[in-house]
Amino acid sequence: MEPSSASSSPAAWREDEAAVLSRIALKDHQAFEVLYRAYYRRLTRFLEQVTRRPQLIDEILDDTMLVVWRKAGTFNGQSQVSTWIFAIAYNKAMKALKRLHVSLDGSDGDAPSPADGPEAALIKRQANLHLQGLLGRLSAEQRAVVELTYYHDCSYKEIARIVGCPAETVKTRMFYARRKLREMLLAQSSVGAM
């Protein structure tokens, strides 16, 4: 069962995900491959944004999916499968960052769409680089909240489960992330106006 052909709606795929996870608990390699392919891009993007260390992504992704393989039978259905998997990835990322004692920095943004013309593609690329640079100045915890909210459409409740804190803490992290981004943008615009 492929994610794209499993159903025509996201809600139906979420139901299918639980069934796929049940098959993984029985050590079904094909089911694991389906889930891995369904999450590879989403987890890679999430881990890139949280860690800002491209060299760590594959290791963290592999560690995350190994936990999914080994612990699929422990999934209790109290959250969406995606929330459970992103929580595992977040915890693995935080452990990897702590192991390295890294200071976080910026990285490249998303590539422009092939449908964009050359000028629009350049503007989009520059805006993405600028945004990624600003996001890189946030803490890993704030970046995770921003990434999960805006790029993965997670609710604060889901994010709270993923990062292991109360929903109020998620709201506070988002508040401070937005405030810091606004301050950085205002500082840059006032410098540009001079």
Structural domains in the chain, sorted by start: 3-104+139-193 (1.10.1740.10)
Is residue 189 pLDDT above 90, yes or no?
no
pLDDT of residue 133: 84
Count of beta carbons in the 10 Å neighbourhood of residue 84: 23
Whole-number Å distance between alpha carbons of 131 and 109 = 8
**Tens digits of residue pLDDT in 19-72:** 999 999 999 999 999 999 999 999 999 999 898 888 889 989 999 999 999 999
Whether the predicted pLDDT of 109 surpasses 60: no
Q: What is the mean pLDDT of residues 101-106?
A: 42
Kindly tell me if the per-residue pLDDT of 166 is higher than 90: yes
Predicted local confidence at residue 110, as pLDDT = 45
pLDDT at 87: 94
